[in-house]
Amino acid sequence: MRRMTTPRDVPVLELREARPALESEGLLSSAYDLRLMPGECALIRSRDTVRAGLFADLCTGMVGLRDGSVRCQGLDWATMDERERWALRGRIGRVSQVGSWVDLFGTHFNILTPVLHHTRIPTEQLIAEATELAVRFGLPGLPVQAPGRLSPLDLRRAALVRAFLGEPALLILEDPVEVDMTDLLTPFLGMLTQARDQGAAVLWITRSAALWGGYRDAATSRYRLIDEGLFPMRGA
């Protein structure tokens, strides 16, 4: 998941007339179009968290298509073999709302699993980087307790550490912060800007447009995700 290699002229994420094949599960088979170049950020408002999760799955090649294509770093999910798809997903940092944490392992292992799995960077170095990020997001260090024993706020911090760890090429963030998480907002926006400067593309999905705060002007585009599909917001 390390060192973004997406050339500047290749979209990090590109949905072209992508029609999902699983209408019954909450994402209508509308045609979705989206294009994110390195360093760009799209803000998406979706009041339905299930739909938001499925849209994120669509972007990561986990939803079959009836028509169209979804490309990540120029590679079409549909034409890649299984091992290539696993590897490419390893370049995506994601904050999701469902099933993100496994209580069988400590939070530190939950955070480190993707980078331990996809890279050969020495473990000590990864731990040091994760600890630095954890401190930056307001944790006292890398949490080792089971995720179930952390407070919701600390769990959100840990989720951000996991998403930003390893310099991902694409960040898909589903409700990464809430309005009452003022302590978290500043380091989050700082990391977001830094990641974009380094070439990462960002998809920030929220339930309410108010959560974007002042960042709406820094974003490249804004959309509404509704039953009928993905639509640009007025003034975006």
Q: Decide the pairing of beta strands 221-226 and 229-232.
A: antiparallel
The distance of closest approach from Cβ of residue 182 to other proteins in the complex, given in angstroms and rounded to an integer, is 28
159 secondary structure, DSSP code:
H
Whole-angstrom Cα distance, residue 207 to residue 222?
A: 13
Residue nearer to other proteins on the CB measure, 22 or 236: 22
Residue nearer to other proteins on the CB measure, 174 or 219: 174
Whole-angstrom Cα distance, residue 109 to residue 107?
A: 5
Residue nearer to other proteins on the CB measure, 93 or 143: 93
The distance of closest approach from Cβ of residue 88 to other proteins in the complex, given in angstroms and rounded to an integer, is 7
Residue nearer to other proteins on the CB measure, 98 or 235: 98
Residue nearer to other proteins on the CB measure, 5 or 123: 123
Do 167 and 197 touch, CB atoms closer than 8 A?
no
Q: Decide the pairing of beta strands 41-45 and 221-226.
A: parallel
Residue nearer to other proteins on the CB measure, 170 or 185: 170
Q: Which residues pair with 202 in a beta bridge?
A: 41, 171
Whole-angstrom Cα distance, residue 133 to residue 174?
A: 19
Whole-angstrom Cα distance, residue 165 to residue 168?
A: 7
Do 228 and 48 touch, CB atoms closer than 8 A?
no
Whole-angstrom Cα distance, residue 69 to residue 61?
A: 10
Closest by CA to 230, choosing from 7, 2, 55, is 55
The distance of closest approach from Cβ of residue 151 to other proteins in the complex, given in angstroms and rounded to an integer, is 20
The distance of closest approach from Cβ of residue 90 to other proteins in the complex, given in angstroms and rounded to an integer, is 4
The distance of closest approach from Cβ of residue 153 to other proteins in the complex, given in angstroms and rounded to an integer, is 20
Q: Could you list the residues that contact other proteins (CB under 8 A)?
A: 56-57, 60, 62, 82, 85-92, 94, 96, 98-102, 104, 113-114, 116-118, 123
Whole-angstrom Cα distance, residue 15 to residue 211?
A: 25
The distance of closest approach from Cβ of residue 213 to other proteins in the complex, given in angstroms and rounded to an integer, is 27
